[in-house]
């Protein structure tokens, strides 16, 4: 049996204020928990079927409270439409912003991304392209929102997502002469632009792009050109899609003939 208090706690984690109060976030699903167990994220409580627990016994540390349950009970606790065999209450990690080092590697910076799905997609892209640090403005959607956690498909456990005031952060980076690129609907053509091997790439909000208070710190305005013939074409790319194209480009430069 899953204690009622735990079910109540799980349901509360849908809201940011309760995540902040408890310092916990929720992860669900067989593959997610598999990825979680092989990560550095601390698990406070693991709820899973007996079979799942047996399969992963060697990876569960003594620090974790383990509750053996069944699919019916897990369904009652779950926030998912199709609950699976495992879910976990995890400690929200407290990453050091100094771990992000744009003098040595690329860092993504998100300026007010609002959609949990886009956020999840961007974390998954960063993970694929080996970008370990993402620095977000405080008003960017919380990555520990259950919808975003699930949308990262496990990439959240391998990516450090920081929240910081961007003007302060970017100003310090600008003083260090770090390349700070930003995507706009005008600027230098991404494909022909010389790019360094590390730096910061800023992605703007879904509707309004990179905001005025962030603008002064952008060293290089970049645009992804449209290849449509004529003047009628999509007005913009989704921010997840734009992030994918940017990451693909910065990572592949060294490989090109």
Measured CA to CA, the distance from residue 207 to residue 15 in angstroms comes to 24
Question: Does position 228 bind a second copy by CB under 8 A?
Answer: yes
CB atoms within 10 A of CB 215: 17
β-bridge mates for residue 183, sequence order: 222
Q: How far is the CB of 117 from a second copy (least distance, A)?
A: 8
Considering only 59, 189, 208, 213, the residue that binds a second copy (CB under 8 A) is 189
Binders of a second copy among residues 119 to 178 (CB under 8 A) are 121, 124-125, 127-130, 153-155, 158
Task: Calculate the alpha carbon distances from 119 to 64, 102, 197, 205, 255 in Å.
Answer: 28, 21, 24, 11, 28
Q: Which helix (H) or strand (E) holds 224?
A: none
Q: How far is the CB of 175 from a second copy (least distance, A)?
A: 28
Binders of a second copy among residues 103 to 122 (CB under 8 A) are 117, 121
Collapsing DSSP to helix, strand or coil, 66 comes out as strand
∠ CA(166), CA(167), CA(172), 5° rounding?
95
Q: Could you give the string, one character per residue 2-41, with x where binding to a second copy holds by CB under 8 A and - elsewhere?
A: ---------------------------------x--xx--
Binding site for a second copy (CB under 8 A): 35, 38-39, 117, 121, 124-125, 127-130, 153-155, 158, 189-192, 224, 226-229, 232-235, 237-238, 240-241, 244-245, 248-249, 251-252, 255-257
């Amino acid at each position: 049996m899953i204690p009622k208090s735990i079910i109540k706690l799980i349901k509360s984690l849908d809201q940011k204020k309760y995540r902040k109060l408890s310092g916990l976030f929720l992860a669900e699903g067989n593959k997610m928990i598999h990825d979680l167990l092989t990560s550095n994220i601390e698990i406070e409580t693991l709820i899973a079927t007996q079979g799942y627990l047996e399969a992963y016994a060697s990876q569960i540390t003594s620090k974790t409270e383990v509750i053996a349950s069944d699919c019916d009970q897990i369904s009652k606790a779950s926030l998912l439409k199709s609950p699976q065999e495992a879910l976990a209450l995890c400690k929200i990690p407290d990453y050091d912003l100094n771990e992000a080092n744009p003098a040595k590697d690329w860092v993504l910076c998100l300026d007010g991304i609002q959609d949990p799905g886009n956020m999840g997609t961007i974390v998954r892209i960063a993970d694929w392209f080996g970008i370990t640090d993402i620095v977000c403005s405080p008003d960017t959607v919380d990555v520990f929102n259950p919808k975003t956690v699930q949308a990262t498909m496990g990439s959240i456990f391998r990516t450090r997502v920081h929240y910081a005031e961007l003007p302060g952060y970017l100003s310090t980076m600008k003083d260090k002469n770090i390349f700070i690129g930003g995507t706009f609907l005008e600027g230098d053509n991404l494909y022909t632009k010389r790019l360094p091997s590390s730096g910061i790439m800023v992605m703007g909000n879904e509707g309004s792009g990179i905001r005025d208070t962030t603008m002064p710190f952008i060293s290089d305005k970049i645009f992804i050109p449209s290849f449509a013939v004529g003047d009628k074409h999509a007005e913009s790319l989704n921010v997840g899609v734009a992030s994918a194209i940017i990451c693909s480009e910065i990572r592949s430069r060294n490989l090109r003939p």
